Amino acid sequence: MAAPLLSPLARLLPRGAVNSSSLFAQQYKSARSFLPFVSTSSSYQSNNNNNTLRTFTSSTANMTHDKTSFKDAVKHRRTVYQLNKKAPVDDKKIEEIARVAIKDVPSSFNSQSTRLVVLLKDEHDKFWDIVKDILKVHVPEDKWEHTGQRIQGFRNGYGTILFYEDPEPIKKLQTSFAQYADKFPTWSEHTSAMHQYMLWTALESEGFGCNLQHYNPLPDQRAAAEWKIPLEWSLTAQLVFGGEEPGARENLPTKSEVPIEERLFIHGA
Ligand SMILES: Cc1cc2nc3c(=O)[nH]c(=O)nc-3n(C[C@H](O)[C@H](O)[C@H](O)COP(=O)(O)O)c2cc1C
């Protein structure tokens, strides 16, 4: 039986919620989980920042990902929300990084299923205007200020990378390696995540601030129409990047940390 056609918002709801009589309440409850992704006390401790790692201050502002060690780049990466439209490198450099990602980031069974759509300047603004338009319809008036400000924060950035997965290579692999058929969709998500992390880290190494968002599937159809993106491709994430506002890193919250000993186990060293 064909799957019923659901609105993008309804598709975000838990199964069964679409038949609920209090659909709007459910939608809003669900919408909240993807609207303002606010750092809560469970994920962060206080605002007391002991970020000892070097920041891209004047002395390191000219560091590029060609020169930064991988370890430093990994340590430097954070979620940065206070962004502006001042790019620390030119668009050619962004393109070069995106090309390296597409060419050299590994994929499951070498599926090469990831598709990147890089939106800069006006095109970036357009994307967040699309998201804002859609959310405006669903978010109650009295909650709009917070959501609107959040979206404006992303729009204040310089660019957004849209991460898609193309189902075609995945389908081929499912046919060729039937014994793993049920695993390929998961591995496709892993492949996307590899690209996301590489680009996040590389762009921060260039002096951009970045944050990762998940407003899909809300903007999927309009984005597809706007940038001629095949509707079959599945949007998995959006990486927002831009110049860092002065003090943006000083205000980063200290992350709560589960002890490393509870998460890392080394045998045989
Ligand atoms: C897989 C993944 C999904 C995430 N999704 C979101 C998101 O939807 N919105 C957001 O603002 N941050 C998102 N984040 C950022 C995390 O909250 C953040 O990376 C985490 O709290 C650690 O903080 P740090 O990035 O400053 O190290 C995501 C991060 C990861 C790795």
Global pTM exceeds 0.85 = no
**Dist. CA 214 → ligand 1 center (Å):** 10
Q: What is the pLDDT of residue 128?
A: 98
Query: Right CATH number for 69-255 from 3.40.640.10, 3.40.109.10, 3.40.50.720, 3.40.50.10860?
Result: 3.40.109.10
Q: Which residues pair with 60 in a beta bridge?
A: none
Q: What is the pLDDT of residues 13-68, one digit of tens each?
A: 222 222 222 222 222 233 333 333 333 222 323 333 333 333 333 333 444 556 78
Q: How far is CA 141 from CA 22, 36, 131, 137, 248, in A?
A: 18, 15, 16, 9, 29
ω into 217 cis (within 30 of 0):
yes
Q: How far is CA 53 from CA 57, 194, 213, 249, 250, in A?
A: 11, 23, 24, 11, 11
**Dist. CA 173 → ligand 1 center (Å):** 30
The position carrying tokens 């659909």 is 23
Distance, CA of 149 to CA of 152 (rounded, Å):
5
Helix (H), strand (E) at residue 166: none
Q: How far is CA 129 from CA 23, 120, 149, in A?
A: 26, 14, 12
Mean confidence (pLDDT) of the chain? 81
Tokens, residue 179: 């014994």
Between 52-56, 110-114, 152-156, 263-267, the lowest mean confidence (pLDDT) is in: 52-56
SS3 167: helix
Q: Whose CA is nearest to atom 18 of ligand 1?
A: 79
Tokens, residue 218: 């809300």
Nearest of 14, 22, 24, 18 to residue 5 by alpha carbon: 18
Q: What is the pLDDT of residue 67?
A: 72
**Dist. CA 80 → ligand 1 center (Å):** 10
Q: What is the pLDDT of residues 158-208, one digit of tens each?
A: 999 999 999 999 999 999 999 999 999 999 999 999 999 999 999 999 999
Check whether 220 has a pLDDT greater than 50: yes
Distance, CA of 100 to CA of 19 (rounded, Å):
46
One-letter identity of residue 24: F
Report strand pairing: 83-84 vs 234-244.
Answer: antiparallel
In this prediction, residues 125-152 reach a mean pLDDT of 97
**Dist. CA 79 → ligand 1 center (Å):** 7
Helices (H), the chain: 8-11, 23-34, 70-76, 91-104, 122-138, 141-155, 167-176, 184-205, 220-227
Q: Whose CA is nearest to atom 12 of ligand 1?
A: 212
Handedness of CA 152, 154, 157, 159 (dihedral sign): negative
Q: What is the pLDDT of residue 64?
A: 57
Q: Whose CA is nearest to atom 7 of ligand 1?
A: 213
Q: Could you tell me the maximum CA-CA distance found in the chain, to the nearest angstrom? A: 62
Q: Whose CA is nearest to atom 14 of ligand 1?
A: 212
